[in-house]
Structure 1
C-alpha cells in the first residue's frame, strides 16, 4: 500500500540527499583525514586541545613516528618540560587531505643548546639550523603543500614508476628532523589563504628523494615565511610536452587560484626531442606560450625561468653553453608576452665560472666510490646538483624574485643580496644527510 510521507520526513530526506551530494562533490580521497592536529611530545599530561604522543607511537594511517624511526627516538627531561630527540634523523607523519598546511614546532628547552634542521615530504628544506640556547624554548612556523595524484575531474596524474611511493604523492604530511634537535610539540593546521607558487620543471627543479641528489625547487621553501606555499610539481626527465601529457599541467590548473604563481623551467630534455616540429623556436616556444596563457586564464602569474647551465668548460676554463637556442627562446617568449624572466642559465654560468673547473664539481653529484652506502662506483654528473649546489641555485631564484619586484618578495625571510659570481663557501654549508641514498641517476641525465 502506498504511504504518504509526512512533511518532516520529506524535509529530512531532502537534507540527507543534499548532504550526500555535498559529500560526493568532494572526492573521497580529499575527505579521509583530519585537517588539524596538535601533538604534545613532552611525555607529560597534554595541554588542553593537544594529543599526547609517546615515543612508541608508530604511524598507522593516522599519526606517529614514521619510516621505521620510532625505535630510535628517545624522551628526555628539559628545563620546564620533556622533549623527544634522536642521534639520527627521525620522521613524524600525520594523515591529511590535499592542501596547504601551517606547521608550528616547539623546539628547545634542553639543558644545552640545540640546532634543528627540518625537511618535509621528499626532502624539502623548511627550517635550516634553527638554534635555541640552553633552557630556551622557541616556536617556528612554515607552510607545507600536500598533493595527491587525483584530479578533481576524476583523472589522475600519470606518475612514473620511480614516483610510486614517493612522499610527495602520498596521503600524509611527513616531517624529517635532523641535527641536535629537541621537539616538544607539533601543530598542523590547514590554511586556505596562502599564495601558492607552483613549480613546473624537470630534474633540476624536482624534490629529489635520495641523497646526494638535490634541486633548487626543494630548497626554495626555506626562504619563505608563512603566506607562501611552494607546490613543486616538477619531475625528472620531463619536457614541456610530457608535463602536459602526464596531466601535470591539468593537475596544476585544477588547483591554481587568482594571485598564485606558476614558475616554468624546461629545456634540458626538450633539447633532445628531434621530431619535425620540435626545436627551441617551434614546439618549445609554442608550449611555453601555452603554459603562460593557461596561467593567465586562471588569473595567476606566470614566471619563466631559463634552464640551469650544464657544467661544461672550454680550454680557457669558461663555461660553455650546451643548451643551444633554448635559453634564448625562453627569453624571447618572456619578452614577447611580457612575462617576468628569471635568467637562471646566466646566473648558473656565473656560478660555475666563479668556482672554476675543479671546485664546480663540489656543487654537483661528483663523489668517489663508497662515499654513500651501496655506492660501489664513482658518481660523475655534470647536470644534477647536490644539496650545496641546489641551495645556491635557490638563492639565485630568490634574487630573480627581488629583481622582478614580484609580490612574493615581501614573504622572503632572507633578503641579503646574493651574487652568483661570489658564491657561499661550501665549507659553510651544513646539510644533515637524510637516511635514503641512491646511486641511480635521475631521468633525463
Structure 2
C-alpha cells in the first residue's frame, strides 16, 4: 500500500509538472505575422508553464468551432492543463443585407440564443450565440480534467480625449457572463489593457499599432501580455502560481 501511494503521488506530481497552457483566440493572440504579433506570443515570458499559442487570425468563436480548432485543443488536453478563451473581434454580424460571413454569432447574452442567417448560396443557416460555442468548448475541456479561463477581448487604439474607457462592448459583457454561468475565472483583459495603455499615454501607444487600430507589434504585444498577467494575478485562478519571477513586476494595479 505504501508503495502504491508513493507511485500515485509521484504520478500526480509529474502530471502537475507537465501542465500546459493552451491559448484559443484570434489574431490579437496569434503568433507573429510580419510586423504584427499577438499577445499570446509574449505571455510565456511571464509564466513557468509550457504555453501553446493556438490563436488564429480571423477566427470567431463560431468559426473556431466549425473549423475544428477547439477540438484540436480538447483532443490533447490533460488533467490539470489550462485553456484561455479570448474571442470577440470577429464575432460581429456580417451586416444587414449581406450574406453570412461564417463568423458571426447570434446576438444575445446567453447559451440558448439562435438566429437564422442567409449563406452566400442563398440557403438558410441556424447559428448560435457566442456563449454556445465557448461554453461547449469549456464543457469539453472540463470533461478532460482541464481548467478553463475566459478572457475579454483586447481594446482598439481608440483614445477619446486622451483616454481609453473600460467599456469593451457586448463581447466583454458576454465573456464575463460566461465566467459567472460556468463558475470559471474571468479575466477582464480589455480593462487591464486599457489601464496599461492609459498609463503609457496616447503617443506611446500609437507606436504599437503599425497597420491599423486593432493589431499591435511586438512591443504592443508585450504590454498586452503584461496586462493579462496583471489580471490573472488579481484573480482567483490557480494559474497564477505559474507566474514566474518576472510576473509580479508587471505594472499597474488590480481593478
Per-residue deviation at 1:418? 2.6
Structure 2 partner of 1:285: 131
Per-residue deviation at 1:308? 0.1
Q: Equivalents in 2 of 1:359, 1:215: separation in Å?
A: 18
1:224 maps onto 2:47 in alignment: yes
Cα pair 1:348 1:420 within 8 Å, conserved: no
| Greater strand content | 1
Cα pair 1:270 1:284 within 8 Å, conserved: yes
How many correspondences in the alignment? Answer: 213
Cα pair 1:199 1:264 within 8 Å, conserved: yes
Q: Equivalents in 1 of 2:139, 2:27: separation in Å?
A: 24
Q: Equivalents in 2 of 1:301, 1:273: separation in Å?
A: 32
Instruction: Sort the Cα spacing of 1:387 and 1:280 in 2 relative to 1 into closer, same or farther, 3 A.
Output: farther
Per-residue deviation at 1:273? 4.5
Q: Which has the larger radius of gyration?
A: 1
Compute the RMSD of aligned alpha carbons.
2.4
Structure 2 partner of 1:298: 144
Cα pair 2:88 2:171 within 8 Å, conserved: yes
TM-score by length of structure 2 reads 0.76
Structure 1 segments of 4 or more deviating over 4 A? 273-277, 320-323
Per-residue deviation at 1:204? 0.6
Higher RCO, 1 or 2 (CA under 8 Å, sep at least 6)?
2
TM-score by length of structure 1 reads 0.45
5 Å-filtered alignment, 1:58-137, equals none
Cα pair 1:271 1:280 within 8 Å, conserved: no
Cα pair 1:312 1:321 within 8 Å, conserved: no
Per-residue deviation at 1:412? 2.4
Instruction: Sort the Cα spacing of 1:317 and 1:193 in 2 relative to 1 into closer, same or farther, 3 A.
Output: closer
Q: Equivalents in 1 of 2:16, 2:136: separation in Å?
A: 27
Unaligned runs of 5+ in 1: 1-190, 366-379, 422-445
5 Å-filtered alignment, 1:1-40, equals none
Structure 1 partner of 2:75: 254
1:336 maps onto 2:215 in alignment: no
Structure 1 partner of 2:117: none
Instruction: Sort the Cα spacing of 1:323 and 1:391 in 2 relative to 1 into closer, same or farther, 3 A.
Output: same
Instruction: Sort the Cα spacing of 1:381 and 1:254 in 2 relative to 1 into closer, same or farther, 3 A.
Output: same
Structure 2 partner of 1:195: 19
Q: Equivalents in 1 of 2:252, 2:207: separation in Å?
A: 15
| Greater helix content | 2
Per-residue deviation at 1:307? 0.2
1:406 maps onto 2:237 in alignment: yes
